[in-house]
Structure 1
């Protein structure tokens, strides 16, 4: 039986079957070249970040929001550089982690979600603590491959800034 084109929902308005999770991890680099990592209660170290809201929120806006919510550090969405997409699969679900970079001259992060993070620490990238949360490790490896960060296999797609594509 064919659907009645008059009564059937248009293909562009039907929601797709959910098969992916979209998040963002934020590398926050201070004026001394250190990165911000949080100690999760599970024992892993992780970048600030989280899910991109299922609204019209951009990845950069989600990065700025998550950074503010988790650390109290406030940045403008325009200062967020989304530089890569990292893709792996967990439990049959595609996990898409957008990698973002924010540079701050200085900042004192606060533990605003003590039920998740016990402490924030500025760390020299060459001395990253372990264990790292897998998506954070994947993002750090995409940012600076020469660091030799151990992480589960992932596909990395580099994002080229718009001004570079018009050259």
Structure 2
């Protein structure tokens, strides 16, 4: 037996076989209670968000970065409330979407990625347009189950903002 086999170091440094994708969807709520949705060129409406970079980036940092990159709206990582994990499976890959909430008093989003999003729109939660991008619908339903949004089945794990310390 080698030393590596005894101390487990090889196992601790060897990357696992990839079987999941990690992203974050950001519900941006303005002072009037509206949420920000983007019209994707595919025809769906979606929340700002995207992948969490595999660079030791936190979910909150990814949410703030994606929001800035996609809309020009800048928030501090500390203003991001990560409140749930939504898990489904697409094509044999686990899709993990972290649900985040940011509250802004006001803001004028810009279309910074016109090859993806044609417009950003503030919308009352009770008047959400369709069709919604599935992960966005899942995140919005986790936030506000009372909206009765149709979405593909997903596992939901709520996250306590204070780490459950009460």
TM class, shorter-length: over 0.9
Mapping 1:3-14, distance limit 5 Å: 4-6=2-4, 10-14=10-14
Corresponding residue number in structure 2 for 1:152: 152
Q: What is the CA–CA distance in structure 1 between the aligned matches of 2:127 and 2:4, rounded to whole Å?
A: 62
Equivalent residue of 1:10, what SS?
Answer: helix
Equivalent residue of 1:56, what SS?
Answer: coil
Q: What is the CA–CA distance in structure 2 between the aligned matches of 1:149 and 1:102, rounded to whole Å?
A: 21
Residue by residue over 1:31-74, the C-alpha shift from the partner in whole angstroms, topping out at 9 and shown as x without a partner, is 00000000000000000000000011000000000000000000
Q: What is the CA–CA distance in structure 1 between the aligned matches of 2:124 and 2:4, rounded to whole Å?
A: 61
Corresponding residue number in structure 1 for 2:94: 94
Where structure 2 has 5 or more consecutive residues not aligned to the other structure, the ranges are none
Alpha-carbon distance, 1:161 to partner: 1.8
Q: Runs (4+) of structure 1 moved beyond 6 Å?
A: none
> Is 1:166 aligned with 2:165?
yes
Residue by residue over 1:83-114, the C-alpha shift from the partner in whole angstroms, topping out at 9 and shown as x without a partner, is 00000000000000000000000000000000
> Is 1:70 aligned with 2:63?
no
Q: What is the CA–CA distance in structure 1 between the aligned matches of 2:9 and 2:81, rounded to whole Å?
A: 37
Aligned-pair Cα RMSD in Å = 1.4
TM-score, with length taken from structure 1 = 0.95
Alpha-carbon distance, 1:10 to partner: 1.5
Alpha-carbon distance, 1:79 to partner: 0.3
Equivalent residue of 1:129, what SS?
Answer: coil
Equivalent residue of 2:12, what SS?
Answer: coil
TM-score, with length taken from structure 2 = 0.95
Alpha-carbon distance, 1:162 to partner: 2.2
